[in-house]
Chains A and B, each alone.
Chain A
Amino acid sequence: MKHVPPAWIRVTAFVVSVGTMGWLHLVAFPDTVVVLTYALPLLLCLSLRDRPLLAAMSGSFLAMTWYKSFYLLPPATGGWGHLAMQAANIAIVTAAVYRAFDLADRVDAERARLEMANGDLAAHEEELGQQNEELQQQTEELQQQAEELRQQAEELHRQAEERDALNFELTGREDLLRSLLDALPERVDERVLLERICTTLLTMTGGSSGVSAAVMERQGDDLVVRALVGASRHSQRLRFQASFSSIVMREKRAAAIHDLAERPDLDVPELHGARVRAALAAPLCWGNEPRGAVALYSATPRTWTADDFRVIEWVATKCSLVMELRRLHERLSSSNADLERLVHERTAALSATVEDLEHFSYTITHDMRAPLRAMTGFARMLIDDQGDLSDARRQDFLLRIATAAGRMDRLILDALDYSRAIRSELPLERVDTHRLLIGMIGSYPELESSRRHIHLADALPWVCANEAGLTQCFSNLLSNAIKFVDPARPLRVVIRAETRGKIARIWFEDDGIGVPPEMTGRLFGLFQRASRTYDGTGLGLALVKKVAERMGGRVGFESEPGVGSRFWLEFPRAEP
């Protein structure tokens, strides 16, 4: 920065310098050349660096020199020579000083510029310092954030690990659920299903060696191992009451024993010939009852974790559900099979009944047309008679018409009995055959004349049949026994019984005409008549067979023509 001295200094310096030099050159030594030149006061200007002062002093000094050279000094020393020398001196010094001023100004300017640059630098430095400070703060913040991020990353990593563990467990659960769902239908063997459950349980609990999984079910006093995975040899049956599973079944929750050495009282499985050392079990329930248990066994003492508990409880719940569903499914299938069987049986019975009825209606039509044809034919012949028929012939025709009408009536009644026997309900009950036969023999009008010829054994059994049905059968057999007899021989009917295991057979033996061998296979058929000598419709034995079979019984006979017949009825025995 350019230095400018105050005005009073400049004026003082000018006055003093010009006064001093004037006094010296013009007053004190007017006629001599003074040694002390004007250069000195000019040099003074260097300190003041005042160009106007320098110019003023130089001018003053040139004026004083001019005045001294031509007016004070002798021409010998003065004059142009002196002026020139002094003027040159003043000019050189002034020029030098001026030059020094320039240099000083330049130095000042440079200094000022440097100072300015320094100031800028300082400002910049300050700014940099601030920025540096800010950066430092930011760095600290970044470090803090980095720390937070690191912590978050650690948290995420931990969560990822947890998620992986959960995923693993979920995958296990999903696999098991899929297996269980696949196994719901009965096509998957139950043992295979239970082994899958054991495998999943082992996997989900870490699958360490020396650990086996088992599913057990209570059967009476025993606990039977239904499936086992993780051990090739294992007890197959335990005492239920002494088993660890009985405890979890009773408590209806999972339980564990870390070292079975502390519970020697428990009956635990042996793995590879050695008693297991640790167990974790959960109950299996279906039908609202504990039925068994799923268990993990360890060959060495083991501390079961909360995860182990959670997994086995989950597996037990799902296993119980599937077992219950399978039981229900089995029951449903069984019911369906029963229903189908029942429908099949009913359909078969219905078809048989329809077939019977068709056969019956066909044969009865056939047999009823004979008396009808007779009645119509003889009646028409009588109507058309123009006196050609004798009285005896007319009488014969009328008798034949009456006989045919009677036969028609019997056919209708027997047909009604038969059709009722086909259709009516015959609920089974305990029947005292002895009491029934005594009652029948004593009260039936058609047996009245033959009553004393019928011999009843002392004891006849109780059977499982229907009393009304039995009455029908007995009645028909007794009627036949007293009807198909040789008039030349005395009537004799014997009723007796024999038991064959759970079956009672009641015999009706007569000394009648017997059954021709040709009739053996068809005697119980509809409208089958072995003889036209005896009145009958051919429905009696068919009715006996039908009714007996509908009551779960059987009928048969043994016969020798001309000697007699032995008809029998068989029914399951009943307690009196």
Chain B
Amino acid sequence: MKKKEWNEGLNHLDSELVEKYVEQKEKLRQKDKKLKGVWLRFGAIAACFLLIVSAVIVVPMLREDDSGVVTTGDNDRPNIPIINAQIPSSAPQYYGNESSSGTSGGGQMEVDPTGLSVTAKLVEALPDVYTFFDDWNQDEFRLLRMQTIKLLRGQEMVEEFYYLIPVEFSTDFSIFDRFVINNMAQFSYEQTVMYNKTQGKAEQLNLVVFGYRVYGYTLMGENLMAFDANGRFDERLWTSNAAWIAATDRASSVDTITQAERNIQNDERHQDLYVHLLKDISGEAEKVLDQIKAFDNGVYVPQFSTNVLWYSPEVQFHATKYINGFATNEKISVWCKEWTGGEQDTYAYTKARFSEEDMSRLPDLPSAFESIKGALNSGSVTPPHFNNQEKLRKTTSGIFGWYAKTENGVVGIVRVTWCFYTEKYQDYYDDAYYIIEYGSDECKSVDRDSLLELLGDYEATYIYTGEYNEYGKYSDIVYPEI
């Protein structure tokens, strides 16, 4: 049987079985929640609140910034979200390249995926704002350099680490003596690269990054508690700004650091999952670590699968190469043996591998990107397939640029996307592609098929490969019948 046949068969599974599965999953999650104890009960409220905070704070920022995302704000149409394909608008300069160590402990760490928990002291709150290169939403963070004092859950922990704080939660952390940090998940290996938005540079981090983030919002209130030098709960953290508002309702449930630590230690779920440091990777897969060494040949952004933040830490990671702040079609993946069940760690490269010669012959993508962005904002870039402006209304558009290795060298590609609605709320997408070649100061419009031909066997990452019709592309998915 072919894989596609198997998957199509599964697509026709009885709906009652899917319903049963969803209900089972829901029950398990509810059961899981109950175990968290009384002081966690208000997490949902925190989540709701933070979504509102995100909507109030982040959305206007997205609309106002110069990232190229355009919103018409048509209130008569369904507000279906569309891609916020944003990248740093100026080419970052590189610095960092510090020694890769800085971590200690080492070896294999065993943690609870829902909450590696520690008592920690603040070493330093980095002053700058950071974003992740591969986060389309461009959520902004501060980084707290923390020193582990006591491991509350899990078997091993590095002595120092960075803890991610969404900027809206940022305050003066230096006034607190100790923190109890719960529900931590490892966000990236050491040596990862983040975009230092304050300085407009890519920066390599020499410590493992931990955080707790679920696709753009956090449950910070239940994850970070502050205490004074006497070990008394210090409510000033949770009252420091509006973002903590949902946490304040729980202020009376924990009085001392001992009590907070005991609450966490009494929760003994999920003890058999693993988090790795880069140096734990071995065998053939270890070779990729030289390849992804930051700043040697561009910037690789090594990260766990984002699922680590949602369900469990996957012992695998993927590193996408970034050049001048733009993604590329070069990617490297590593699967550790604990994940695959095999005898050794494994890895895979894309066919696209940027050589030194490629790096010396890069097209001027940043300029091309800025030009297309300006043209899009002024309305002079129009969707190529959409030919009936009377019947359809544009709702949103986005822009994304990347370097792609092709059979004929590296090109810069800019993709512009549009979303439309008809009177009957039918939905259409359209997109257009532009390329710039090395040595050229012209960014040329190119049709999708020619672009795919140009890429040849190289990865056509980020390119729509389905059919177009007179409006653009339209989903031909068969929706389930009830």
Partners in one complex: no
